[in-house]
Amino acid sequence: MHSLTIAELSRGLAAGEFSSRELTEHLLGRIEGKGAELNAFISVTPDQALAAADAADARRAAGQAGPLTGVPMAHKDIFCTRGVRTSCGSRMLDNFISPYDAHVVEQIQAAGMVCLGKTNMDEFAMGSSNETSYYGPVRNPWEPTAVPGGSSGGSAAAVAAGLVPAATATDTGGSIRQPAAHCGVSGLKPTYGRVSRYGMIAFASSLDQAGPIARTCEDMALMLEVMAGFDPRDSTCVERDVPRYTDALSGDLTGLRIGLPREYFGEGLDPAVAGAVDAAIDEYRRLGATFKEVSLANSHLAVPCYYVIAPAECSANLSRFDGVRFGHRCEDPVDLEDLYKRSRGEGFGAEVKRRILVGTYALSAGYYDAYYLKAQQIRRLIRDDFLRAFEEVDLLLGPAAPTPAFDFGEHTDDPVSMYLSDIYTIAVNLAGLPALTIPAGFSGKRPIGLQLIGTHFDEARLLQAGHRYQQVTDWHHRRPEAYA
């Protein structure tokens, strides 16, 4: 059962081949057994999961089941879940039990899915390797010496290892697409505002977006139909109808115009990744797509622009974690200033402190115009590059990451080199566009991901293009040998 996709599990449940309880018990056994060495979960919730599975079986027996009823999944530990620890991978929130559910959690519960627990992540979603989690690093199921990518590495590793068929994730600068690429699974970053951020602990509010990680584009379409939609509790959530993404999957790609950004195929791209992308281009040609080279002339400014805006917003968002209202509080503070200093000093890890300091500096008096305002102006140029490209083509295609998964410790002493691992994903967040990553090959044992980028609210076309590719390739069917 652990090797089946959501669509296959849904059909199995509907046909009575197994119950949701049997499926849930099987996956909980994998999480507690061989899956434990991956460290993909921060919290496992067997009692709640089995109760939800029984409720799903009862719902199905009553003839009230939907396509996702009874299907297990996991939430990234950045989503608030009522009565369950929501740590965001940080010591600061190690003792935080949320009194409410995030919008995404509510939607998935309403669909009858069964949550097995909360997945590990970089602290407050800050990282590209899952090495900054307070709960320790997540292992890549394909090779234990390799990182799973960040910050949704726990979700990606759990899906790749067959611990869950799908998981929620978030993407601020590539945190769905880069770990999906490194773990050989599929990940979708929707348009900014397509999915409510209510109850999702904020890192950089103008960039954060929730999305699914699963094995196939069909599964991501099923998940997005549930996750997307207007929520008045999030002022940035767009009031717009949610299409039936699964209905759009079957169309052919004849005449689809795909752009190849020349800036994505230059220096720094690993030859194995370049070869996999070239092979994918050939597959799309055989499917009827046409290609055209386009330019994203300001893409070289994306990383420096992002690392002004994101830290600036994180320094504001994380100011609420002060040890006074909730979160970690130091022992025996001598006065209020001591309470603030030691609570935050003890609660936050090194990468979070680094970004708070950078962001506070960028927002400080005398530097706001030189850094934050200038970065926002560059952000507009980057967005305009994409919009000009989409006047000529329907989608953009390129690598998801410049290299396959790297080893633990390879970039920990050089933050800038770590930040560059997101060089092909960050600009998408600055422009608020949707994009997905799908498996497209291997370098040795390590997966390679292909990235497709669409214009705003064009998730249906993205999922269709990804689905057609997965119908003629088998990269998404490959499983890590140790977790087959």
pLDDT in tens, 138-160: 999 999 999 999 899 999 999 99
- What integer pLDDT is reported at residue 418 of this predicted model? 72
Please identify which of the residues 10, 20, 43, 76 carries the catalytic annotation. 76
Picking from 67-81, 204-218, 420-434, which range would have the lowest pLDDT averaged per residue? 420-434
- What integer pLDDT is reported at residue 356 of this predicted model? 96
The Cβ of residue 94 has, within 10 Å, a number of other Cβ atoms equal to 16
Segment 262-286 shows an average pLDDT of: 95
Q: Distance between CA 333 and CA 342 in Å, rounded?
A: 8
| Nearest of 180, 254, 183 to residue 217 by alpha carbon | 180
> Is 175 labeled as catalytic in the residue annotation?
yes
DSSP result, 292-331: EEE--TTGGGHHHHHHHHHHHHHHHHGGG-SSSSSS---S
Segment 298-303 shows an average pLDDT of: 94
pLDDT in tens, 185-198: 999 999 999 999 99
Please identify which of the residues 19, 87, 133, 151 carries the catalytic annotation. 151
Q: What is the pTM of this model?
A: 0.96
Q: What angle do CA 353, 90, 106 make, to 5 degrees?
A: 125
Please give the span between the terminal C-alpha atoms of the chain, in angstroms, as a whole number. Answer: 11
- What integer pLDDT is reported at residue 417 of this predicted model? 67
> Is 235 labeled as catalytic in the residue annotation?
no
| Nearest of 87, 160, 163, 74 to residue 119 by alpha carbon | 74
Q: What is the DSSP letter of 371?
A: I
Segment 214-222 shows an average pLDDT of: 98
> Is 151 labeled as catalytic in the residue annotation?
yes
**Over 70: is that where the pLDDT of 102 sits?**
yes
- What integer pLDDT is reported at residue 414 of this predicted model? 74
Residue 260 pairs in a beta bridge with 293
In the sheet that holds 395-399, the strands lie side by side as: 41-44, 114-119, 72-76, 166-170, 210-214, 186-189, 435-443, 446-453, 395-399, 257-261, 290-294
Please identify which of the residues 43, 90, 155, 175 carries the catalytic annotation. 175
Amino acid at 214: A
pLDDT in tens, 388-424: 999 999 999 999 999 999 999 887 777 776 777 788 9
Helices (H) and strands (E) in the chain, counts: 15, 11
Which tops the pLDDT comparison, 44 or 324?
44
Give residue 228's pLDDT band: very low, low, confident or very high (50, 70, 90). Answer: very high
